[in-house]
C-alpha cells in the first residue's frame, strides 16, 4: 500500500467504486479506495438490484438516466458483466389522486426526453399477467427500468477503475482521520497511514462513523429493508416461453410494494409503514456479509394488499426472505459534495438507490473534485442542503417518516409532522393562537396561512386548489389594499465586516456594492457564470455589510464564502463572516398603509424623502433596537424589520396594536409567494439555479460587467455577447381548478423549429409488448385524446419547463414562471403556448410586464 495519494475513497460499495472509476476516468490516477472488508460488504451485496430513471427532482432524474447508460461502458472497459435486464416497468395507480401523480410524473418526463406513457390497467396486465387489473385506474409505463447483478456491477466499476490506474486496498479499516495545517489529510488505517489531498466518505452503513472522525454528524440512518423471493412459478415460465421476454417491474403505491421477475420466480419488496431502524446510534464495525432476522409480521399489511392486487403471487411458495440494512437521508436523496467548514473532505453517501444513482453520483462528485463544479444542478443531493438542526434524533425521526412514505405521493401543500417543531421563533405560540397553519422552512416553523377563526388550522392536501385558497386570497387583498404583517425569520442572514469586506463582496457579487445606508439586489455566479445565489445587501457601516438570502442555502453559501476568503498574507484577517441563523429574526409589513403604521412606532422621520426605497437604517421600532430595510418581497410599499429574538414579541405586539386602525392582517408564506408572482419576481432554487446564466434568468439589470473582475464575469460577458439561449418568463395561464406546481412542460405552436432546449438524456430504450409478444405503442387509452406521447404533437412541441407558479389572488390570474427559448421570450401572442397541468394542456400567454404595478410606482412611493 502506498503512503501518498491525491485522493482516498473510503468504502467499497457501488458508490465508492463508481466515484473511484469516475475520478480515474477524469484523469486522476494517483487515487486509491480503502475498504474495511471485501467489495460490496455493506448494503450493495444484498440489494434487490433494481434501477429506474424517474425521480421527484428532474435534475436527479437526469443523473439516474446517465447511470443506466453507463453500464454498457463499464462492462466494455472491465470485461465484467453487470447482468443487465432492461425490462421496463409500470407504476400502478389505484385512485384518481395517484393517477394525478402519474400525470405529473409523465409531464416531467416530456421535457427530460423520457419515453414514458400513460396506459390502462389492462395494458399493464398484458405485460405482468399476475395482477388483477380491476384494482387499478391507470398506470405509467417507463421503458428505462430493469434490474442487474449488484455484485457484478460493483466489481465492474472496480475493475474499470483499476484498468485506468486506480488502486484498491481491501481488508483495511480506516480508524482515524486528521488534517495538517497545510490541509493534507492523514488517513490512518490498520495497515498504515496515507497522506492524501482529498478524502471521500463513501462509507455507506459506516458513513456516519466516518463523518464523526472529522467532527461531522451526517443526517443518515440505516433502515431494515425486506424483500422476498418466490419459488419458480409456472405462470412466469409460461409467459417467458410464449413471449420470449421477461415480465416487467411493477410499483404498486397502495400496497407500498415493488415486484419484478427473478429467475423463474418473482421478487417482491416492501416499504412498510411499520418500518424499523437498524443501529440508530452506532454501526458495528464487524458487521459484514450478514443478513438481519426477517420479520414477516411487520410487512404483513403490505403483503395482504399485494396478494390482493397480484393474486398470481399469493399461491407461490416463498423461497427466501432477505432483510438487510440500507442507508437513507432525511428526504431519501443522497448526500453528495464538499462538507462546509472542512477542506477537501467530500461525501457520497446515503445513496439508497445505488444502482439507479451511483453512476450519476460518481460523475457529479468527480467533476466537482477535478473541475470545481459538479457539472449538473445537484442541489437535490447536496450535503449542504441540511442545517445543524438535522441532529441524530431529528434524523432518526425524519428517515423513519420518509421510509414509511417511500411509495406515498406527496401533495404540493403537504407538510410532514415528524420531528416537529424543531426550531421556533418567540412568536410560535402566538402564531398558533392566531390560527396559523405552520410549515417547515429549513427546520424552522413558519406560518403558511391563517385559517378563519372557528375553523381547524389544517391543510386538506390536494393537487387542486384546496381549503387554503380563500383565506390566502383574503390575506393578499387585505395586504394590497391596506397593510399586512408576516414573519420573515426564515431568511438567511449574514454580516460581512472588516477592511476588506467591500472588496470581498465586489469579487463575489455581480452588482456594485451600495453606499452606506443603501441596499442593492445582486446575484452571485460561479466560475462558469451560472447562478448560485441571489441576495439583498445593505451597507450598514464603513466596514460592515448586512446580507439576506435563501434560508435553505445557508450552508451552501457559507461553503462558497469560506472558499473565497483571503487565506494568506496581510489580507487574511481583513474579512469576517458571521451567519446569524435564528439569532436574528424579522417581521415584514407591506401595503399602502405600512408607512403610516411604522411611523407610529418610530421616533424618526420615515417620509418618502427621509427614508427612500432601498434605504437601510438602524432605528428603534416600538422601543426595540432594530434594523429596517425599505423593501419587501411583495413588490408593494413595505419594510423588513430585523431584531434579536428577545425583542420580537415586543415589536410584533406594537405592530398589531398600531395596525388596528389601518385594518392590519396577518399573512403567511403562501400569500407572500402569491404576491411575488404578480410582480414576476423570481425565487431561489426554482427560477434561479446553477443551470442558468444571469441573462437567461432575466437578471440583466443586476449584472454590472464593467464594475470589476467578479467571479463568473468572463462567462457572463460571453453569455451577453452571444445572447442567452433561454429566458425566464412569466405566464398567465388559463387554468381550471388546479394551478402549476413546478416542472410542468411548456408547449409552443412552432412547427418544426428546433430551439435546442429539449435534450433527450442518454439511456436504453425498451419498447412495450403485450402478453403475446406484440409491440404496443401509443394507445394512451387511460388518458383519452388530451394526452400525447413524447415531446412533439403536430405543430406543437415542448420548448421549455415551468419552474414555479400558483394563483395570483389580487390580479385574479393563474400564473407561472419558466424557461423558454430566448427568441420566444417576448412573444405575448395568444395561442402560442400551452402548459400541461395534470395531464391537460392549458392555454398560456407570456406576460412581459408584471400584472401588478408594472411601473413599480407603489413600492417607490
The secondary structure of 747-802, three-state, reads: EEECCCCCCCCCCCCCCCCCCCECCCCCECCCCCCCCHHHCCCCCEECCEEEEEEE
Helix (H) or strand (E) holding 111: helix 96-112
Asked if residues 604 and 619 have their Cβ atoms less than 8 Å apart, the reply is yes
Closest CA to 558 of 342, 807, 374: 342
What is the pLDDT at residue 238? Answer: 96
What is the pLDDT at residue 841? Answer: 96
231-252 b/e (C-beta count within 10 Å ≥ 16 → b): eebebbeebeeebebbbbbbbb
| Residue 687 neighbours by CB under 8 Å, 6+ apart | 697, 728, 803, 804, 817
Cell of residue 579, nine digits = 451567519
What is the pLDDT at residue 588? Answer: 98
Inter-CA distances, 136 with 94, 257, 770, Å: 4, 14, 18
Asked if residues 87 and 261 have their Cβ atoms less than 8 Å apart, the reply is yes
Helix (H) or strand (E) holding 65: helix 58-78
pLDDT at 708 over 50: yes
Give the confidence band of 773 by pLDDT, cuts at 50, 70, 90.
Answer: low
Q: Greater confidence, 619 or 764? A: 619
Give the confidence band of 61 by pLDDT, cuts at 50, 70, 90.
Answer: confident
What is the pLDDT at residue 801? Answer: 93
Give the confidence band of 288 by pLDDT, cuts at 50, 70, 90.
Answer: confident
**Beta strand 174-179 pairing with 220-230:** unpaired
Range list of β-strands (E), 645-756: 665-666, 726-733, 745-749
Cell of residue 481, nine digits = 389594499
Compute the radius of gyration of the chain from its Cα atoms: 28
Q: What is the mean pLDDT of residues 104-108?
A: 91
Percent of the chain having pLDDT more than 90?
Answer: 89
Please give the angle made by the CA atoms of 414, 420 and 422, to the nearest 5 degrees: 130
Closest CA to 806 of 677, 637, 648: 677
Residue 259 bridge partners (DSSP): 250, 268
Asked if residues 99 and 106 have their Cβ atoms less than 8 Å apart, the reply is no
Asked if residues 840 and 786 have their Cβ atoms less than 8 Å apart, the reply is yes
CA dihedral 39, 44, 45, 49 (to 10 degrees): -140
Cα(144)–Cα(112) distance, integer angstroms = 13
**Could you give phi then psi for residue 439, rounded to 5 degrees?**
-125, 165
Cα(648)–Cα(488) distance, integer angstroms = 11
pLDDT at 436 over 70: yes
pLDDT at 783 over 50: no
Inter-CA distances, 76 with 71, 151, 161, 356, 450, Å: 9, 17, 12, 19, 60
Q: What is the mean pLDDT of residues 50-77?
A: 87
Cell of residue 835, nine digits = 402548459
| Residue 356 neighbours by CB under 8 Å, 6+ apart | 50, 51, 52, 53, 64, 67, 68
User: Which tens digit of pLDDT belongs to each residue from 207-265?
Assistant: 999 999 999 999 999 999 999 999 999 999 999 999 999 999 999 999 999 999 999 99
pLDDT at 547 over 90: yes
What is the pLDDT at residue 782? Answer: 33
What is the pLDDT at residue 777? Answer: 45
pLDDT at 509 over 70: yes
pLDDT at 398 over 50: yes
pLDDT at 206 over 90: yes
What is the pLDDT at residue 772? Answer: 54
Mean pLDDT, the chain, whole residue set: 93
Asked if residues 404 and 271 have their Cβ atoms less than 8 Å apart, the reply is yes
What is the pLDDT at residue 698? Answer: 97
Q: Is 233 strand, coil or helix?
A: coil
Closest CA to 513 of 524, 527, 502: 502
**Could you give phi then psi for residue 492, rounded to 5 degrees?**
-80, 140
What is the pLDDT at residue 756? Answer: 55
Please report where in the chains the cell 410549515 appears, as a residue. 439
pTM of the full predicted structure? Answer: 0.94
Closest CA to 685 of 677, 697, 675: 697
Q: What is the mean pLDDT of residues 14-22?
A: 98
What is the pLDDT at residue 831? Answer: 95
User: Which tens digit of pLDDT belongs to each residue from 155-198?
Assistant: 999 999 999 999 999 999 999 999 999 999 999 999 999 999 99
What is the pLDDT at residue 444? Answer: 98
First to last CA, the chain: 71
| Residue 660 neighbours by CB under 8 Å, 6+ apart | none
Q: Is 46 strand, coil or helix?
A: helix
Cα(475)–Cα(665) distance, integer angstroms = 7
Helix (H) or strand (E) holding 183: none
Asked if residues 654 and 623 have their Cβ atoms less than 8 Å apart, the reply is yes
Cβ neighbours around 62 below 10 Å, total: 24
pLDDT at 758 over 80: no
Inter-CA distances, 664 with 391, 500, 682, 830, Å: 38, 43, 27, 39
Cell of residue 228, nine digits = 422476498
Cis peptide before 240, with omega less than 30 degrees from 0? no
Amino acid at each position: 500500500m502506498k503512503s501518498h495519494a491525491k485522493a482516498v475513497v473510503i468504502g467499497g460499495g457501488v458508490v465508492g467504486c463508481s466515484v473511484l472509476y469516475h475520478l480515474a476516468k477524469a484523469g486522476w490516477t494517483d487515487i486509491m479506495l480503502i475498504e474495511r472488508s471485501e467489495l460490496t460488504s455493506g448494503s450493495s451485496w444484498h440489494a434487490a438490484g433494481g434501477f429506474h430513471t424517474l425521480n421527484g427532482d428532474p435534475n436527479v432524474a437526469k443523473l439516474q438516466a446517465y447511470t443506466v447508460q453507463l453500464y454498457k461502458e463499464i462492462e466494455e472497459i472491465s470485461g465484467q458483466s453487470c447482468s443487465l435486464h432492461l425490462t421496463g416497468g409500470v407504476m400502478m395507480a389505484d385512485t384518481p389522486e395517484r393517477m394525478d401523480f402519474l400525470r405529473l410524473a409523465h409531464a416531467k418526463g416530456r421535457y427530460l426526453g423520457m419515453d414514458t406513457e400513460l396506459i390502462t390497467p389492462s395494458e399493464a396486465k398484458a405485460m405482468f399477467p399476475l395482477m388483477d387489473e380491476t384494482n387499478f385506474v391507470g398506470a405509467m409505463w417507463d421503458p428505462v427500468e430493469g434490474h442487474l447483478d449488484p455484485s457484478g456491477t460493483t466489481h465492474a466499476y472496480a475493475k474499470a477503475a483499476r484498468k485506468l490506474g486506480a488502486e484498491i486496498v481491501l481488508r483495511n479499516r480506516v480508524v482515524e482521520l486528521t488534517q495538517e495545517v497545510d490541509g493534507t489529510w492523514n488517513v490512518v488505517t490498520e495497515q498504515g497511514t496515507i497522506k492524501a489531498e482529498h478524502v471521500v466518505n463513501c462509507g455507506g452503513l459506516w458513513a456516519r462513523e466516518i463523518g464523526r472522525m472529522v467532527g461531522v454528524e451526517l443526517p443518515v440512518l440505516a433502515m431494515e429493508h425486506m424483500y422476498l423471493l418466490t419459488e419458480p412459478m409456472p405462470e412466469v415460465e409460461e409467459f417467458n416461453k410464449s413471449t420470449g421476454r421477461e415480465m416487467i417491474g411493477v410499483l404498486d403505491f397502495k400496497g407500498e410494494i415493488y415486484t419484478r421477475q427473478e429467475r423463474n420466480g418473482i421478487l417482491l419488496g416492501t416499504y412498510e409503514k411499520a418500518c424499523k431502524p437498524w443501529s440508530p446510534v452506532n454501526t458495528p464495525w464487524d458487521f459484514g456479509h450478514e443478513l438481519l432476522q426477517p420479520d414477516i409480521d411487520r410487512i404483513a399489511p403490505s403483503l395482504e394488499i399485494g396478494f390482493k392486487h397480484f393474486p398470481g403471487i399469493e399461491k407461490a411458495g416463498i423461497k427466501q426472505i432477505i432483510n438487510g440494512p440500507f442507508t437513507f437521508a432525511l428526504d431519501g436523496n443522497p448526500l453528495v459534495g464538499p462538507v462546509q467548514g472542512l477542506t477537501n473532505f467530500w461525501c457520497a453517501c446515503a445513496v439508497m438507490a445505488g444502482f439507479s444513482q451511483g453512476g450519476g453520483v460518481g460523475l457529479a462528485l468527480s467533476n466537482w473534485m477535478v473541475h470545481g463544479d459538479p457539472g449538473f444542478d445537484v442541489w437535490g443531493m447536496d450535503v449542504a442542503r441540511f442545517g445543524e438542526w438535522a441532529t441524530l434524533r431529528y434524523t432518526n425521526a425524519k428517515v423513519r417518516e420518509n421510509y414509511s412514505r417511500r411509495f406515498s405521493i406527496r401533495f404540493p401543500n403537504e407538510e410532514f409532522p415528524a420531528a416537529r417543531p424543531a426550531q421556533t421563533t418567540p412568536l410560535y405560540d402566538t402564531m398558533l393562537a392566531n390560527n396559523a397553519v405552520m410549515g417547515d422552512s429549513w427546520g424552522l416553523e413558519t406560518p403558511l396561512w391563517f385559517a378563519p377563526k372557528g375553523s381547524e388550522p389544517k391543510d386538506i392536501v390536494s393537487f387542486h386548489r384546496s381549503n387554503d385558497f380563500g383565506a390566502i386570497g383574503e390575506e393578499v387583498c387585505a395586504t394590497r389594499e391596506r397593510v399586512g404583517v408576516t414573519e420573515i425569520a426564515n431568511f438567511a442572514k449574514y454580516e460581512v465586516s472588516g477592511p476588506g469586506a467591500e472588496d470581498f463582496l465586489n469579487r463575489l457579487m455581480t452588482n456594485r456594492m451600495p453606499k452606506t445606508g443603501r441596499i442593492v439586489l445582486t446575484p452571485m455566479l460561479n466560475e462558469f457564470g451560472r447562478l448560485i445565489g441571489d441576495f439583498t445587501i445593505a451597507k450598514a457601516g464603513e466596514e460592515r455589510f448586512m446580507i439576506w438570502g435563501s434560508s435553505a442555502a445557508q450552508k451552501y453559501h457559507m461553503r462558497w464564502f469560506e472558499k473565497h476568503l483571503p487565506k494568506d498574507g496581510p489580507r487574511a484577517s481583513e474579512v469576517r463572516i458571521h451567519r446569524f441563523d435564528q439569532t436574528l429574526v424579522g417581521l415584514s409589513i407591506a401595503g399602502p398603509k405600512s408607512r403610516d403604521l411604522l411611523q407610529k412606532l418610530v421616533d424618526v422621520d420615515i417620509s418618502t424623502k427621509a427614508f427612500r426605497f432601498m434605504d437601510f437604517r438602524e432605528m428603534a421600532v416600538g422601543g426595540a433596537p432594530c434594523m429596517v430595510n425599505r423593501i419587501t418581497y411583495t413588490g408593494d410599499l413595505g419594510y423588513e424589520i430585523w431584531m434579536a429574538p428577545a425583542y420580537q414579541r415586543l415589536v410584533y405586539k406594537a405592530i398589531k396594536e398600531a395596525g388596528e386602525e389601518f385594518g392590519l392582517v396577518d399573512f403567511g408564506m403562501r400569500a407572500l409567494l402569491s404576491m411575488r408572482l404578480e410582480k414576476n419576481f423570481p425565487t431561489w432554487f426554482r427560477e434561479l439555479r446553477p443551470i442558468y446564466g444571469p441573462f437567461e434568468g432575466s437578471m440583466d439589470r443586476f449584472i454590472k460587467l464593467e464594475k470589476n473582475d467578479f467571479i463568473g464575469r468572463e462567462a457572463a460577458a460571453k453569455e451577453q455577447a452571444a445572447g442567452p439561449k433561454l429566458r425566464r418568463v412569466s405566464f398567465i395561464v388559463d387554468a381550471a381548478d388546479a394551478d402549476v406546481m413546478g416542472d410542468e412542460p411548456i408547449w409552443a405552436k412552432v412547427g418544426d423549429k428546433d430551439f435546442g432546449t429539449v435534450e433527450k438524456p442518454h439511456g436504453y430504450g425498451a419498447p412495450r409488448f403485450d402478453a403475446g409478444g406484440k409491440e404496443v405503442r401509443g394507445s394512451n387509452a387511460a388518458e383519452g385524446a388530451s394526452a400525447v406521447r413524447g415531446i412533439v404533437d403536430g405543430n406543437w412541441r415542448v420548448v421549455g419547463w415551468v419552474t414555479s407558479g400558483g394563483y395570483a389572488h389580487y390580479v385574479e390570474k393563474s400564473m407561472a414562471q419558466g424557461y423558454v427559448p430566448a427568441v420566444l421570450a417576448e412573444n405575448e401572442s395568444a395561442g402560442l403556448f400551452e402548459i400541461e397541468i395534470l395531464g391537460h394542456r392549458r392555454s398560456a400567454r407570456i406576460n412581459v410586464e408584471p400584472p401588478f404595478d408594472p411601473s413599480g410606482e407603489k413600492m417607490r412611493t
